[in-house]
Structure 1
Amino acid sequence: MSVLNKINVHRRSIMRSLTKNVGKANMQDDFILVDKNEIKKVLICRPNGRLGNLLLITPLVQEVSEMFPNCKIDLFVKGTLAPIIFEKYEVVDKIIHLPKKPFKNLLAYSKVWISLKKAHYDLAINVDQNSSSGRLAVQFSNAKYKFFGDSGEESTEQKSGFEHIAKYPVYNFRNYLSKLRLPTNSNKIIPPLDLKLSASEIAKGRKILNELANNDKKTICIFTYATGTKCLSEDWWEKFYSMLTSEYKEYNIIEILPVENVSQIGFKAPTFYSKDIREIGSVITNADLFVGADSGIMHLSSAVHTPTIGLFSVSNLKKYEPYDNCSVGIDVNLYTKKKYIKTINTILNNGRLNGLSRAI
C-alpha cells in the first residue's frame, strides 16, 4: 500500500470516529409521518464516485420512488458518472456532485455544501452509515425527516442478504419508515440493480455484438480486469479462458475491455472497448452470461440484468456478490474446473442456483 493510500485509510478512520454519532441525538422518535404524499422532495446522499458504488444505490432509489410516488429525488454524490447512470430515472431531479479532488477545488467544494443548506427537502437519506460525508450531508440539510443510515434494530440484520451493500440500505430505510409509523412490507424482495436501458440502446448493443461475433451463436462475455488485489493473474485467466473455449464451443466468447485497454488473456478473444458506460451495458445485456471479477463492470452487468458470475478472491463475497437474474458470486479459492462448469451450465440452462455455488 502506497503512503498516499495509507494516509487515506487513516483519514477515513479518523473521520468515521468523529462522525459516527452524528444524528444519534436526533432520532426523531416523536415524529409520525401520517401522509406519505407529504414527501415531495428527497435527498439521497452517497458521496462516492465509483461506478459500482453508484449502481449499488439504484435499488434504494427504486424503493424510495415506489414508497413516495409523488416525490422527486436529488442525489448527492461525487464525480461525474451519476448523470449517466441515472439518465433514464425520471424520478431523479438534480445530481449534486462533489469535486473528485476537493482540496484542489475548495471553492466548488464549499459551494456544493452551501447548496445543500439552501435547498428544501422533506426527507434526507444517508445510504451508508459508515460514510462520514453522507452523515454530515444529512445533518447539514434542512430536511424535516433525516435518516442517517443506521440499522436501528438487531432483527433487521437477520434478514436474507442483509450484509449486501445494495440491500442493507433498503432494509435500514424500511426500518426507519416503520419508526415513523408508515406501513412497509419488510419482507418484500429487494429491487435489483437497474441501469434502465432504453429499447434503442439495447438494439444498438445487439447490433454491436452481432458485428463482433458475425454468427448466430449465443454469447458469453468475460471481463478479465479488476483493480488491485481483486485482479486475477494472467495464468489464472489463461486457464479459465482455455476451459471456456473447450467446453463452450457453441458460444461466442467476447472480452469486454476496461478503460485501461488491457487484457489478462493477451487479447486472444474478440474484444469490445468503449468508455461509454451505457454502451458497454447495452452490449452486455445482449449476452447470455457475464463472467468477471468484483468490479464496477460486474455490477454494470447486474444492472443490465444479464446472468452474472462474480469471481471473488479477496473481496467480501456476501457484501458485493451479484444477485437476481440467476447471478451468483463464487470464491475462486474454493473452485475446481468441474465446479465452474457445473455452475455455468446451471445458469445457461436458466436454472436458479439456490446456493449451489456454496454447496458444491
Structure 2
Amino acid sequence: MGVLATVNVFRRRIMRGLTKNIGKSKRNLDILLVDKAEIKRVLICRPNARLGNLLLVSPLVQEVSEMFPNCKIDLFVKGPLAPIIYENYDTVYKTIHLPKKPFKNLLEYIKVWISIRRQPYDMAINVDQNSSSGRLAIIFSRAKYKFYGDLSDQHQQTKSDYDHIAKYPVYNFRNYLTKLGLAKSNKIIAPLDLKLSSSEFEEGKRILDKVTGNGLRRTICLFTYATGTKCLAEVWWEDFYKALKKEYPEYNIIEVLPIENVSQIAFQAPTFYSKDIREIGSLIANTDVFIGADSGMMHLASSVQTPTVGLFSVSELKKYEPYDNCSIGVNVLKYSKKDYFKVLNKILNNGKLKIYSRAV
C-alpha cells in the first residue's frame, strides 16, 4: 500500500471515530410526522463515486419516492455517475457532488457544504451509517427530520436478507419512520433499477444484434474483469468459457469489456466496449443471462433486470449478491462446473421476456 493510500485509510478511521456518535443523542427528540405531504424536499447522502455503490442506493430512492410521492430528492454523492444513473428518475431533482480530492479543490468543497446548509430540506437521510461525510451532511443540513442511517439500539433486525448493502438502508429507514409515527411497510424491497427508456432498450437490441451477428439466437453475456482480488484468474475464465461453449453451442456468447479494455479470455468471444454506462446497460438488458464477478458491472446488469450470476471469491456474498429476476450469487470456491450449469439451466429454462418491463 502506497503512502497516500495509507494516509487515506488512517484519515477515514479518524473521521469515522469522530463522527460515529453524531446524531445519537438526538434520537429520542424526533417529532411525529403527522402529514406525509409535509415532506417536499429530501436529501439522500451517499458520498461515494463507485458505479456499484451508487446503483445500490436505487432501492432506497424508490422507497422514499413511494413513501413521499410529492417530494423532490437531492443526492449528495461523489463523481460524475449519479446524474447518469438517475436521469430517468422523476423524483430526483439534482445531484450535489463532493470533490474526490477536497484539499485540491477546497473552494468547491466549501461551496458544497454551503449549498447543503442553504437548502431548507424537510428530511435528510444518510445511507451508510459508517460514512463520516454522510453523517456530517445530515447534521449540517437544516432538515426538520434527520436520519443518520443507524438501526435503533432497541430494535432487533430479524430479516434474513438484512445484511445486503442495498436492503439494510431501506429496513433502517422504515424503522426510523415508525419512530415518527408512520406505519411500518412490509413490502418486498425494490430491485436495483437503472430505469432504461424503451428507446434505450431498443437501441441496445440493435447494438447486440450487430455484436452477435445473429439476433435470432439467445445470448449469454460475460464480464470477466473485476478489481483487485475479486478478479478471477485467466486460467479460471478460459476453462469456464471453454465449458460454456461446449454446453451451450446454440447460444451467442459475448463479452462486455471494462474501461481498461482487457479480457480474461483473451478476446475469444465477440466483444462490446463502451464508456457509456446506459448504453452498456441497454445491451445487457437484451441478453438472457449475465455472468461476472462482484463488480459495478454486475450491479449494472442487475439494475436492468437481466438474470445475473455473480461470481464471488473474496467479497461477502450476503452483502453484495445480485437479487431479483432469478439472479444469484455463487461462491466459486465451492461450485463445480456441474453446479454452474444447474444454475444457468434453471435461469435459461425460466426464460426472459424480450421486453423491458420497467421502461419509462
Q: Give the TM interval when normalised to the shorter protein.
A: over 0.9
- Structure 1 range deviating more: 253-262 or 100-109: 100-109
- Displacement, 1:159? 0.7
Match of 1:212 in 2: 211
- Listed one character per residue, the Cα deviations across residues 16-72 of structure 1 (whole Å, up to 9, x for unaligned) are 111100011111445100110000000000000100000000000000000001100
User: What runs of 5+ residues in structure 2 fail to find an aligned partner?
Assistant: 353-360
1:73–1:94 contact (8 Å) kept in structure 2: yes
Task: Give distance in 1, aligned partners of 2:315 and 2:21.
Answer: 28
2:298–2:308 contact (8 Å) kept in structure 1: yes
Match of 1:135 in 2: 135
2:30–2:145 contact (8 Å) kept in structure 1: no
Match of 1:311 in 2: 311
Task: Give distance in 2, aligned partners of 1:348 and 1:103.
Answer: 50
- Displacement, 1:4? 2.7
Distance 1:2 1:94, change over 3 A: same
User: What runs of 5+ residues in structure 1 fail to find an aligned partner?
Assistant: 353-360
Structure-to-structure mapping, 1:230-309, within 5 angstroms: 230-309=230-309
CA RMSD of aligned residues (A): 1.3
- Displacement, 1:184? 2.5
1:294–1:310 contact (8 Å) kept in structure 2: yes
Q: What is the TM-score when the length of structure 1 is the normalising length?
A: 0.95
Match of 1:189 in 2: 188
Match of 1:71 in 2: 71
Match of 1:49 in 2: 49
Match of 1:357 in 2: none
- Listed one character per residue, the Cα deviations across residues 71-130 of structure 1 (whole Å, up to 9, x for unaligned) are 000000001100000000010001101112212111101100111011110000000101
- Displacement, 1:7? 2.4
Structure-to-structure mapping, 1:100-115, within 5 angstroms: 100-115=100-115
- Listed one character per residue, the Cα deviations across residues 207-260 of structure 1 (whole Å, up to 9, x for unaligned) are 000111111110000000001111111011011111111101111110000001
Match of 2:162 in 1: 162
1:46–1:76 contact (8 Å) kept in structure 2: yes
SS at structure 1 position matched to 2:157 = helix
- Listed one character per residue, the Cα deviations across residues 162-190 of structure 1 (whole Å, up to 9, x for unaligned) are 000000000000000001011131x2100
Task: Give distance in 1, aligned partners of 2:311 and 2:111.
Answer: 41
- Displacement, 1:8? 2.0
Task: Give distance in 1, aligned partners of 2:29 and 2:344.
Answer: 49
Match of 2:5 in 1: 5
Q: Which amino acid aligns with 2:241?
A: Y
SS at structure 1 position matched to 2:280 = helix
Structure-to-structure mapping, 1:221-236, within 5 angstroms: 221-236=221-236
2:23–2:139 contact (8 Å) kept in structure 1: yes
2:289–2:308 contact (8 Å) kept in structure 1: yes
1:43–1:75 contact (8 Å) kept in structure 2: yes
SS at structure 1 position matched to 2:26 = coil
Q: Which amino acid aligns with 2:151?
A: S
1:156–1:162 contact (8 Å) kept in structure 2: no
Match of 2:146 in 1: 146
Task: Give distance in 1, aligned partners of 2:46 and 2:69.
Answer: 21
- Displacement, 1:351? 8.2
1:326–1:351 contact (8 Å) kept in structure 2: no
- Displacement, 1:154? 6.1
1:29–1:179 contact (8 Å) kept in structure 2: no
Match of 2:22 in 1: 22
- Displacement, 1:5? 2.4
Q: Which amino acid aligns with 2:152?
A: G
